[in-house]
Amino acid sequence: MLARLIAGWRRSLLWTALLGLVLALLATLVWLAGRYEVSQVQERLERDAAGATSDVRAALTRNVQSLQALQTLQGAEGSTATWVLQADALLRNQREWLRLEWRSAALLPLAHTDSPYRPPAFARLGRSNAQAEVALACANARRISGPAYSASYFLPQNDGMGLEAMELCLPKIEAGQTLGYVVATYSLADLLAERVGRHLARNHEVSFTEPDGTRLALHGTARRASRVFTAQQLLDLPGNTLVLRLDSWRAAPDLFPNVLTALVTAMSMALIAVLVLLAKDARRRLRAERDLADALAFRKAMEDSLVTGLRARDLQGRITYVNPAFCDMVGFAPHELQGQANPAPYWPPELTDEYQKRQAVRLAGQHVPPREGFESVFMRKDGSRFPVLIIEAPLINAQGLQTGWMSAFVDISEQRRVQEMQRASQERLQATARLATVGEMASLLSHELNQPLAAIASYASGSLNLMADQPKQLGSDHHYFEMLHTALQRIAEQAQRAGKVIQSVHDMVRRREQRREAVAPQTLFDAVMPLIELQARKLQVQVQLAVDRPLPRVLCDRSMVEQVLLNLARNGMQAMDAPPDLPRVLTLHARPVDHTHREAGPPRWLAFEVADTGPGISQDVAQQLYTPFFTTKAEGMGLGLSLCRTVIEQHGGILGFELRQPRGTIFTFTLPVVPDDR
């Protein structure tokens, strides 16, 4: 009995579906008939709109040709009166024109005439009120060397009414020069009245509108009915774009006369179609159920495999879903969490008040969580705390409504541990760097103090020799004491230099701001020349000094720059170990850095050159030349050029070298010039 009831219910359902389908077919046929008639009306209206647009465009083209004929009168002697007569004749034939003007190349009015069919259009506000539109249209016309239109504008009249106007500017150009302009002022309403077919005005409402729908001018009236039809055509003019719009009203469309005949065929086909559709619907329903089950199984497997915790809450703050990763993270089972509201069991007791306030603000929708997430602290079931990164987003249903919040949780305990290890490692690296700095300072002091101490030792030995020879010098006591005084003075200078070197190196290693002063290039050379000449005599080297004059002063740490000059000069002299028949010449030169084509005025940098006539620097040595502790000398430490470059770079300059022709090497470094305000 139950099976028969179910079967009967199914049959009645099928008959109901069949009846509903027949009724739907009838309604569809009626609707299609109405749509067909509507489409026919709309097509006719579109054709009328296209024809009207073509008529307006052709009329505008003919008007431009008439203005070009009028333009031939510009520039001739005594032609103003003739031009006005011709312009009046044109205005009588073209009712859409309000005014014609002859303007100079500077847009100054030379002659004008108004339409005889209406009072002067500019009598109320004057012509200057539309000067901006005229200037814009003529600028476009001059740019394209042809007619150009301005944007439409409202022109008030003395009768309290107004009209929408548009400017046409036609330039007169000869041999590439603009000699003047003809400016015609259109009335958009008159343009519609004169250039749109009379039959359209009787049955339609024709108007000009802007692209955004703003109506500018209107012509014609249409009978009001229950249905409105609209067609629009774009009128693209040089410098302006208008839309021609046609509105038409019609009553509700009639039905097809052969609807009943079509229904017989449609109902027969519908009977067969219903059976086919029912079978397809059953198969489609089964397939959708299988797809849904597969999608749910896939989603469950994906959520179970995640290491990121997921939690869903409704708008009241109750937990509606948690994945296994979240349960493993906090140590609670799913049934212990689902349905729980605030306070959550994984909140630390000491932070419960703070979390409740935050959740109240969140659930009220007053604060949107940041997309990058925020950090918090959770408590496991055993009471241990751990940091988490929380990323929340609104939970939106299929209808686009928010039903709650979906949150993702990442345990960042390991990340915090790694960050702590990195911080400790960074502290150890900083301690190691300080030890390396101490070693660097020791190496630098040992290298830089070598020269002043050697000079002190040399002058001290000379002084002892002079004192040992005192009995032999009794005949020339004055000269003897003068040499002894000079030697002792040199010893004091070099001792003072050694102290400055220690202080400069100490400041450089401690990264303190070095004391810099304005020094003349000649002063730098004078300070180091005694030491250079002392070594030059030992190595049989000729020293040449060339300083361009006048040169501005440089801003530098004097003692460190002098050490750079000494190091470069010493290296250059030691490099000249050629046979005696070859010249051994060391050249010291100071010059301004050449200006580029973008610079002017006094130089901002000075270049100091130390050139030798040695064998030069090979390519293999050049690649490691500034590497610390790299040296080609048996007694060298490999720190000289590295430290020289460090000193020059601290001054903002550059230390480099190039091969000298036909033989030798030129080392060059730059120093900044003292600004004019110092």
Residues 231, 131 within the same domain: yes
User: Do 376 and 435 reside in the same domain of the chain?
Assistant: no
Q: How far is CA 255 from CA 35, 41, 248, 293, 503, in A?
A: 10, 15, 21, 49, 108
| Confidence check: pLDDT of 438 > 80 | no
- For helices 558-575 and 477-509, angle between their N-to-C axes, nearest 10 degrees: 110
Confidence of residue 468 (pLDDT cuts 50, 70, 90): low
Is pLDDT of 550 > 90? no
Does 272 fall in a domain? no
Average pLDDT over residues 379-393: 82
The pTM for the full model equals: 0.38
Element counts in the chain: helices (H) and strands (E): 16, 22
The pair of three-digit structure tokens given for residue 307, joined into one six-digit string: 């290491």
Return d(Cα 10, Cα 63) in angstroms, integer. 77
Examine the pLDDT at 173 and tell me if it is beyond 80. yes
**Per-residue confidence (pLDDT) for residue 184, from 0 to 100:** 92
367, with CB counted inside 10 A (0-12, 13-18, 19+), is exposed
The last residue of a domain, from among 217, 248, 279: 248
Beta-sheet pairing, 177-187 with 153-156: unpaired
- Same domain? For 617 and 521 the reply is yes
Are 393 and 432 in the same domain? no
Residue 124, pLDDT score: 84
Give the phi and the psi of residue 108 in degrees, each rounded to 5: -85, 130
Answer whether 239's CB lies under 8 Å from 259's CB.
no
Please state whether beta strands 665-672 and 605-611 pair in parallel, antiparallel, or not at all (unpaired).
antiparallel
Position 500: which residue type? K
Altogether, the residues listed in the chain come to a count of 678
pLDDT at residue number 474: 45
Q: How far apart are CA 653 and CA 609, in angstroms?
A: 13
Looking at the structure, do residues 389 and 344 belong to the same domain, yes or no?
A: yes
In a domain, 16, yes or no: no
* Residue where a domain terminates, one of 232, 248, 264: 248
Give a yes or no: residue 674 inside a domain: yes
Contact in structure between 64 and 237 (CB atoms under 8 Å)? no
Which one of 349-353, 366-370, 459-463, 572-576 scores highest in mean pLDDT? 572-576
For residue 257, the model assigns a pLDDT of 46
**DSSP states of 301-364 as a string?**
HHHHH-SSEEEEEETTS-EEEE-HHHHHHHT--HHHHTT--SSPTTS-GGGHHHHHHHHHHHHT
Q: pLDDT above 90 covers what percent of the chain? A: 9
Q: Which one, of 192, 187, 188, 191, lies nearest residue 206 by Cα?
A: 192
Residue 666, domain CATH: 3.30.565.10
Tokens matching residue 35 = 């749509």
Residues 371 and 463 placed together within one structural domain of the fold: no
Residues 25-51 have a mean pLDDT of: 73
In this predicted structure, the answer to whether residue 678 has a pLDDT above a threshold of 90 is no
The pLDDT of residue 256:
47
Of 494, 513, 532, the last residue of a domain is 513
At 1, the pLDDT band (50, 70, 90 cuts) reads: low
Angle, vertex CA 173, rays to CA 170 and CA 177, nearest 5: 135
Domain harbouring 351, CATH code: 3.30.450.20
Domains: count for the chain: 4
Query: Is the domain of 499 the same as that of 640?
Result: no
User: Which of 541, 543, 662, 551 is closest to 610 using CA atoms?
Assistant: 543
User: What is the spatial distance between Cα 39 and Cα 627, in angstroms, rounded to a whole number?
Assistant: 87
DSSP letter string over 111-148? EEEE-TTSS-TTTTT-GGGGHHHHHHHHHHHHHHTS-E
Most confident of 8-22, 71-85, 452-466, 534-548: 534-548
Within a domain: 17: no
Residues 648 and 537 placed together within one structural domain of the fold: yes
Q: What is the pLDDT of residue 475?
A: 47
Among 18-22, 288-292, 418-422, which is the least confidently predicted range? 18-22
Q: Answer yes or no: is 18 within a domain.
A: no
The Cα-based distances of 136 to 63, 97, 166, 183, 592 in angstroms read 20, 19, 12, 12, 55
Query: How much of the chain is helix, strand and coil, in % rounded to 5?
Result: 50, 25, 25
The least confident of 66-80, 243-257, 663-677 is 243-257
Band the pLDDT of 171: cuts 50, 70, 90. Answer: very high
Instruction: Say yes or no: 188 and 202 in one domain.
Output: yes
Tens of pLDDT, residues 192-202: 888 887 777 67
DSSP assignment letter at 638: S
- 499 and 521 inside one domain: no
633: DSSP letter: S
Q: Are 240 and 148 members of one domain?
A: yes
Q: What is the pLDDT of residue 189?
A: 87
Q: d(Cα 331, Cα 346) in Å, to the nearest integer?
A: 9
The type of residue at 482 is E
The three-state secondary structure class of 549 is coil
Cross-strand partners of 409: 309, 390
- Per-residue pLDDT for 668 more than 90? yes
Give the angle 479-485-487 at the CA atoms, nearest 5°.
105
Which are the contacts of 422, defined by CB distance < 8 A and separation ≥ 6? none
Residue 545, domain extent: 514-678
Q: Answer whether residue 598 shows pLDDT above 90.
A: no
Asked if residue 75 has pLDDT above 60, the reply is no
Confidence category of residue 670, pLDDT binned at 50, 70, 90: very high
Q: Is residue 28 part of a domain?
A: no
On whether residue 30 sits in a domain, the answer given is no
The three-state DSSP-derived secondary structure of 215-264 is EEEEECCCCCCCEEEEEEEEEEECCEEEEEEEEEEECCCCCCCCHHHHHH
Burial class of 563 by CB neighbour count within 10 A (0 to 12, 13 to 18, 19+): buried
* 654 and 614 part of one domain: yes
For residues 515 and 534, the model is more confident at 534
Q: Judge whether 238 lies within some domain.
A: yes
Mean pLDDT of the chain: 77
Q: What does the pLDDT look like over 109-151, one tens digit per residue?
A: 888 899 898 888 888 888 888 888 889 999 999 998 899 999 8
